[in-house]
Amino acid sequence: MRITASATSPMLMRLAAEQATGALLRDQGTLYLVDGRIVHAESPAAPGIDVLLTAGGALPPQGWQEALSLAGTRHEVGRHLVDSGRVTAGELEMCHIGALFDAAFFVLGPASGPTRFRYGVAHWLGRVRPVAAETVERETRRRRALLDRVWPCPELDTSPVVPRPPAPGQTLTGRQVALLRLADGVRTPTAIAWALGRPTFHTLIEVRRLAAAGLVEPPRAAGPAPPVFPAPLTEDNPEPDIALLRRVRDALEASL
What is the pLDDT at residue 26?
Answer: 94
What is the pLDDT at residue 7?
Answer: 60
What is the pLDDT at residue 240?
Answer: 44
Instruction: Name the DSSP class of 130.
Output: -
What is the strand order of the sheet 131-132 is part of?
116-119, 22-26, 29-34, 37-42, 131-132
Q: Is 235's pLDDT higher than 70? A: no
- CA 75 to chain CA mean position, Å: 26
Q: Is 89's pLDDT higher than 90? A: yes
Identify whether the C-beta of residue 214 lies closer than 8 Å to the C-beta of residue 243: yes
CB contact set of 193 (below 8 Å; sequence gap of 6+)? 46, 47, 199, 200, 202, 203
The mean predicted confidence, pLDDT, of the chain is 86
CA distances from 209 to 57, 68, 180, 191, 213 (A): 27, 37, 12, 18, 6
**Whats the size of the chain, residue-wise?**
256
CB contact set of 13 (below 8 Å; sequence gap of 6+)? 1, 3, 7, 133, 134, 137
- pTM of the predicted model as reported, rounded to 2 decimal places: 0.82
131-132 and 116-119: which strand pairing?
unpaired
Identify whether the C-beta of residue 201 lies closer than 8 Å to the C-beta of residue 102: yes
Which is higher by pLDDT, 145 or 247? 145
CB atoms within 10 A of CB 196: 20
Segment 65-84, tens digit of pLDDT: 999 999 999 999 999 999 99
What is the pLDDT at residue 215?
Answer: 96
End-to-end CA distance of the chain: 41
Identify whether the C-beta of residue 121 lies closer than 8 Å to the C-beta of residue 75: no
What is the pLDDT at residue 148?
Answer: 94
Instruction: Name the DSSP class of 162.
Output: E
Identify whether the C-beta of residue 85 lies closer than 8 Å to the C-beta of residue 145: no
Identify whether the C-beta of residue 45 lies closer than 8 Å to the C-beta of residue 109: no
Segment 104-153, tens digit of pLDDT: 999 999 875 789 999 999 999 999 999 999 999 999 999 999 999 999 99
Nearest to 199 by CA among 37, 41, 65: 41
Segment among 41-50, 103-112, 138-147, 230-239 with least mean pLDDT? 230-239
Confidence band (pLDDT; 50, 70, 90) for 223?
very low
Segment 189-201, tens digit of pLDDT: 999 999 999 999 9
Phi, psi for 26 (deg, rounded to 5) = -130, 175
248 has which bridge partners? none
Confidence band (pLDDT; 50, 70, 90) for 57?
confident
CB contact set of 125 (below 8 Å; sequence gap of 6+)? 39, 40, 49, 75, 77, 78, 96
Confidence band (pLDDT; 50, 70, 90) for 222?
very low
Identify whether the C-beta of residue 108 lies closer than 8 Å to the C-beta of residue 7: no
